[in-house]
Each structure stands twice: as structure tokens, then as C-alpha cells.
Chains A and B, each alone.
Chain A
Amino acid sequence: MQTRRNIIIIIVLCISLLSANNVEAASCYGSSCSGQDPQEMGCSAYTVSHIWWSGYSGTLYTELRYSPAGSCYANWTRASNNEGNVRHLRAELTKNDNIFTVIRYEDSSSYSLIWTNMESAAYTWCSIGRMGYPGSGFDTASDPICG
């Protein structure tokens, strides 16, 4: 009787632990994430570098995002504004060459926060953000942040 009760307790504990770890699995890894949306792929992410940049249209935040080897193993760029109102935002993921060749970008006047598609974290990437008033060009561009 005692043994049966113990077995039931162990099964219940195992089920609880499994449910606790029931995190949505990522749908791509490394190069298979290239060109994919981190949101759609369910990639867990960390900000590895964050830069603040001020311009006429306000303060721009640019982030280099990284999904570690335990998830998607990929990088992407995120740009946002701190002004409350929507701004014209552009997030760029670039090569780590001297001219920061743009590989992925997202450009919109409809969001407060935007992000690019991903590239494999096997390489070093850089992030650049740009911001302006909706419907106009950019008055702010952050320095590149690489990692």
C-alpha cells in the first residue's frame, strides 16, 4: 500500500516537473533560422548589447538580440523608441565588415518596437537602429553594436 502511494507521488511529481518545463520549443537552429522571424520560431532571447541614441525625434534604443545555443543560436536586431508615440523605425542587422553591409532590415512607421529576421550566431553580427518622425526620413542613427 505504502509502495503504491510512493509510486503515485513520484508520478505526480514527474508530471508537475514536465508541465513546468513545457516551454515552447524553438523551430529552427543556427543557419536554418536565417531569414526567419524570431517570434514565429519561438526563439528565447537575450539582449547582448544595448545602445541609446538621441535625435530630434527622441531617444532610440537599439538592441542586438541573441538566442543562445540552447534555443535558436541566432542573432537579430531590435529597435524601439522611448517617446510614447509611434516613430518611423528601422532595425538593421549588418555584417561585421568595415562598411556594415545590411543583411536583414525591418522598416515601419506603425510600431513602437520592431525587429529583423535572424541570422546564425555562428558569425559576428552588428545592429544599427534608425529613427525619425512617421512619414518622414530618419534623423537619428545609432552607432553599430556588434557581438
Chain B
Amino acid sequence: MNIKFIKGKKIKIVLAALVLMGGLLIINYSILHASSPGTVSDSLSQITVNGVTASINEINSTETGTELTFCLDLPSNADWFPFAVLQDKSQIIQPSKITLLNIKNPETFEGTYRCFLATYRSGIKPTTKLVIQNIQISMSENLTSNDCDMALNKIHLDHPDFSFKCEIGDHGIRFDYGSLPEGMTDQEASRLVRAALTETLLGPWTFSLAQ
């Protein structure tokens, strides 16, 4: 009786292990077969790139302006903010404003699923796409000189001649750039420093807006 019980228990453990392995295989399959970067979806659908799923939920467009609601299941509950543009062939339209929705709901900040409203001063054509280029954690007010040193080390991997200093002061931060590497503009230097001081996850998550 005792032996039978032990055998039964063993079978249960083996079955549980098989179920667990099956589950893991399914998860692995989903990850491997997720949409590849740059995939264009149908309107009001979702795309997964680099483990982050984006969905487009609402499109309101007139001749002079467009409002789009899109949602992201972010990698963490940090201050991730999306950079989303409209693209029509080679023309890029920058957003005039992007706003996080449901801010009075604590779950918005406790969880990773967040929705944003993007506003553009342009209508859309059948060929227009929404391109969420990347998501980036906003720069903190609580930067330290150590953060700046780490950012410089990160930049040096690709731009060994680049240098900058952070002046962290009362209600503000100043970035002082040394002599810039040949061909680098002030704007590029600024983008480089901001990217190094934060965390960026590249997309793109691309949606066709044809209705």
C-alpha cells in the first residue's frame, strides 16, 4: 500500500513536471514567434517587439490634426515614455504632445500596462503609419555625479573622444560638452548624453493607420 502510494506520488510529480515543461515550451514558442521588428499591423491591433507589446486603441483624425491612443505593456513600472511619430513615406511628423492616461489610478504606476494619447498637428492619409520609435525612461531629477560618470563610460564605447560634465545644481542640471568629435552636432551630443543617462528600448512598433 505504502509502495503504491509512493509510486502514485512519483507519477503525480512526473506529470506536474511534464505540464510545467509544456507550459515553458509554449511560452518559449510565443517569444520566438513574436512579430519581428518593423512588422506593420492592421489598424487597432497589437505588435510585440523586444518583448514589449504595443497596441493601437483609438484613432481620431481630421484634416488638421490627429489623436491616437496606444497602449504598451512596459518592461517595468519605471517612468518609461514613448517617442512616437507619424510617418508617411519619407515624411516624419513629430508629435506635438504625448500624455499618459489614467494618471489618477494608482494601478497605472504599480503595473506595467500604460496607455498614452499622442497628438499631431497633421491629418493622416491611407499610407500614414504610427511608428513608436523607442521607449525611454525619463531622466531623473535625482541624478548623481556617479550616474554621469557611468553615462560617459557608456558613450566612450562608441565615441572614445567624447566628453561631457554634469553640473547638478539647485532646481536644475547643466551638461557641459567638451570639444565634440568631428561631425557631431550639438543636438546629437545632447541626444547621446540623454540616452546614456537613461535606459532606452528600441522598437520600432509600426502600425498602419489605414481605416
A residues lining the B interface (CB < 8 Å):
37-39, 42-43, 45-52, 63, 65-66, 68-70, 78, 81-86, 89, 106, 108, 110-117, 143, 145, 147
Which residue on B lies nearest to A83, using beta carbons?
B186
**Apart from the given pairs A70-B106, A111-B174, 6 other A-B contacts in the complex at a CB distance below 8 Å:** A48-B103, A52-B95, A63-B138, A82-B190, A110-B172, A113-B173
On B, residues with C-beta under 8 Å from A are 79, 81, 94-100, 103, 106, 108-110, 138-142, 167, 169-175, 177, 185-191
Q: Please name the residue on chain A nearest to B140 by beta carbon.
A: A45
Within 8 Å by CB of B173, from A83, A85, A112, A145, lies A112
Interface hub of A42, A65, A83, A111 (most chain B Cβ within 10 A):
A111
CB atoms of B142 and A39 under 8 A apart: yes
A69–B109 CA distance with the chains assembled, in angstroms: 9
Contacts of B187 in A (CB 8 A): 82-84
Hey, which chain A residues are within 8 Å of B81, CB to CB? Answer: 47, 50
Bound form: Cα–Cα A52–B118 in Å: 12
Knowing A82-B191, A84-B190, say if A39 contacts B141 (CB, 8 Å). Answer: yes
A45-B141, A82-B187 known; A51+B97 contact, CB < 8 A: yes
Q: Is the CB of A69 within 8 A of B190?
A: no
Bound-state CA distance A116–B79 (Å) is 19
Q: Is the CB of A112 within 8 A of B141?
A: no
A51 to B197, CA, bound (A): 20
Q: Which of A37, A48, A69, A86 contacts B100 (CB 8 A)?
A: A48
Contact A49 B174 (CB under 8 A): no
Structural contact, B171 and A39, CB atoms closer than 8 A? yes
B65 to chain A, nearest CB (A): 13
- Least CB distance from A107 to B in Å reads 10
Q: Tell me which of B99, B100, B172 contacts A113 (CB under 8 A).
A: B172
Complex interface: chain A residues within 8 A of B96 (CB): 51-52, 143
Residues of A within 8 A of B110 (CB): 70
B97 cross-chain contacts in A, Cβ below 8 A: 49-52, 143, 145
When distances are taken between beta carbons in the complex, the residues of chain B under 8 Å from A89 are: 172
Query: Does A145 lie within 8 Å of B99, measured CB to CB?
Result: yes
Q: How far is the CA of A68 from the CA of B141 in the complex (A)?
A: 15
Query: How far does the Cβ of A136 sit from chain B's closest Cβ, in whole Å?
Result: 18
In the docked arrangement, what's the CA distance between A83 and B177, Å? 11
Question: Taking CB as reference atom, which chain B residue is nearest A51?
Answer: B97
Residues of A within 8 A of B141 (CB): 38-39, 43, 45, 65, 78, 115
Cross-interface CB contact of B109 among A68, A84, A112, cutoff 8 Å:
A68
Report how far A146 CA is from B110 CA in the complex, Å. 22
Give Cα distance in the complex from A112 to B81, angstroms: 20
The reply to whether B142 and A42 contact each other, CB–CB distance below 8 Å, is: yes
Given contacts A66-B103, A110-B172, A46 and B109 within 8 Å (CB-CB): yes
Residue pair A49, B99 in contact (C-beta under 8 Å): yes
Q: What chain A residues lie within 8 Å of B170 (beta carbons)?
A: 37
Which residues from A are CB-within-8-Å of B142? 39, 42
19 contacts between A and B (CB under 8 A): A37-B170, A39-B141, A45-B79, A47-B81, A49-B97, A49-B98, A51-B97, A52-B97, A65-B141, A68-B109, A70-B109, A82-B187, A110-B169, A111-B172, A113-B173, A113-B174, A114-B171, A147-B99, A147-B100
Known interface pairs A46-B79, A82-B187. Does A52 touch B174 (Cβ–Cβ under 8 Å)? no
